[in-house]
Amino acid sequence: MCGIIGYIGQKKANGILIEGLKRLEYRGYDSAGIAILDQGEIFPLKCVGKVHELAKKVQSHFQHSGTIGIGHTRWATHGNVSEKNAHPHLSNGNNFAIAHNGIIENYLPIKAFLIEKNYKFYSDTDTEILANLIDYHYQKEKYLSFAEIIRKSLLHVEGTYGIVVLSKIFKDEIVAARKSSPLLIGLGNGENIIASDAAAVARYTKRVIYLNDGEIASVCSDNFSVITLGEGSVDMVYHELDWEIGDEDLGDFPTHMLKEIFEQPSSIENAMRGRFTEDASSSKFGGLSLTPQEFRSVERLLFCACGTAYHACLEGKYLIEKYARIPVDVEYASEFRYRNAPLQRNTLVFVVSQSGETIDTLAALQEAKRKGYPVMGITNAVGSTIARATDSGIYQHAGLEIGVASTKAFTSQLTILSMLALLFARVRDMDDFSGRQYVYALKTLPKTIKEVLKLSEQISAIAEKYYGQGRFLFLGRQTMYPIALEGALKLKEISYVHAEAFPTAEMKHGPIALISEESVCIFLATQKEMLDKTMSNIQEVKARGAKVIVITSNTQIAWEVFCNEVIKIPETHPGVNPIVSTIPLQLFAYYVGLLRGCDIDRPRNLAKSVTVE
């Protein structure tokens, strides 16, 4: 969940490291640091807070101009947020500096061993143990290469890691290694960059290699080599980044989250581009290696995901079961790996992760493959671990998403899952006419989203009325229930307000005890067949003093008579209705967070890519 970068080349490392950390800051932002090798010594500089604070320190009094260095932006796992716990960490004697993403599970016995060897520790982190373990192996066998020292050290380590290591002994190389934490090498002309995310290297090169678990790379300015923990050979695969320079810029928007909300007409269109049949009656995915006969033979689907992606999968369950009549299970990936869930024959597994690096989802993927099931991936990150580990899959093509709270990645997942529902339905029972109606609704979805985004000022005004309330309940039936869950999650993430979501009818089975004058209830009332029931539920909360906001596409009912606020969205096909209904909830969460003075793009305690358990 932390951002890592390393640079080796001909340019001054400081500026490149700081620039890279700014582009990685969405992965962690409670502290940051760099370490530069200059004139044979390692010089660290660290600070608590965001990367711009580190940049100020570099500019004001960091004079070192070496051309090799490493950097890190932290999301704390071991030790509180303090300068002593910020990375990079140095070994005793300053022979080695290390930046680390992950958790070393057996750090206590390693620390006890090193203390016996007279090593001292100055931080509360597990990472410092690694720095001293590397120094121990160097002192023990000084004839070894840098990469071999790292390899021997990591043989003793249990847990997860993505590391970059700098040394004043080995002055012309940086060593990187990974286990369940992403690392890539950007290959330039007389310079190479190691990073935990392509965002940090895209401005300098489009040619990259991705390290796999158990691989250790020795990186010099003009070459690199890779070994494995087991000393096996490695055949490297080169990738070209599909990345537009400037994707990470704010443009005219004050925050990345608002920019990404307004990018959704384009990101949804990109998710659909080239994925409809020529007769416009169905969807197609070139990345899925299944024939129509194999699609028909699927008897059950299992989706594994976490957080926002889990909500997208729940929506997929409703749509696939409704239109394709295939039973669908949705599991939290973090639970699936330990639950020993029974899976029936002819089950197709999908894992969904916008980053393609979510460690719990990776573990679920490996568990499903271990049991012999075909596993497909849905991810936004080309070349990510999940993309490379699955049998086949679908790229979201949503573009870079920097805001920690997912918006356009979520709606692109919803779009793909809606298209999957159509695909499975068309190879089974859905007729041609119904398929064409569904495709038309999908193709016009970007235009519909643009209409909803015009409600931004109205939603901002509503947020201004209620941002001081202490409790928010989101309520929806059937396909609107997962959207209610996502609405509550967005509000919690962005504004730190207590928010919960329930199927509307479940409110009276317990949650109604929470209702008071301090409550705001947000109803998703878009399904015609459910309107009478939903209106009754609204009356129940109104009778107990709650404020009511309704999001609806129905214009026949005088909602203003018994609701405090009404947000009217276009009426659409049921297969895309959940996507349209998501937009007002994203905007509401955004404006509430803004009014409460929260850091919209970097909410406290959260990080974009969750690579620790």
Could you list the active site residues? 2, 608
DSSP annotation string for 20-76: HHHHHGGG--SEEEEEEEETTEEEEEEEES-HHHHHHHHHHH-----SEEEEEEE--
- Distance between CA 104 and CA 126 in Å, rounded? 6
- Distance between CA 532 and CA 224 in Å, rounded? 66
* Strand spans (E) along 112-183: 161-167, 174-179
Up-side HSE of residue 581: CA atoms within 13 Å toward CB?
34
21 closest CA partner among 184, 236, 235, 197? 197
Torsion sign over Cα 482, 486, 492, 495: negative
- Distance between CA 3 and CA 196 in Å, rounded? 6
Listed in sequence order, the residues at least 6 apart from 558 whose beta carbon sits closer than 8 Å to its beta carbon are none
Orientation of helix 577-595 relative to helix 408-426, angle to 10° = 170
Up-side HSE of residue 544: CA atoms within 13 Å toward CB?
16
| Pairing, β 192-195 against β 184-187 | antiparallel
For residues 309-328, one letter each, b for 16 or more C-beta atoms within 10 angstroms of the residue's C-beta and e for the rest, the string is bbbbbbbbbbbbeebbebeb
> Residue 139 has which token pair?
């002192």
- Distance between CA 84 and CA 303 in Å, rounded? 41
H/E element holding 377? Answer: strand 375-379
Q: Is the peptide bond before 88 cis (omega within 30 degrees of 0)?
A: yes
Up-side HSE of residue 372: CA atoms within 13 Å toward CB?
5
> Residue 166 has which token pair?
């700098």
Residue written as tokens 């901002």? 460
Residue written as tokens 């159509």? 422
Residue written as tokens 């003009």? 222
Beta pairing partners, 96? 167
- Distance between CA 151 and CA 130 in Å, rounded? 12
Cβ of 505: how many Cβ atoms within 10 Å?
A: 15
| Greatest distance between any 2 Cα atoms in the chain | 82
Q: Long-range contacts for 276-279 (Cβ within 8 Å, ≥24 apart)?
A: 276/439, 276/442, 276/443
Listed in sequence order, the residues at least 6 apart from 203 whose beta carbon sits closer than 8 Å to its beta carbon are 19, 245
33 closest CA partner among 2, 73, 80, 60? 73
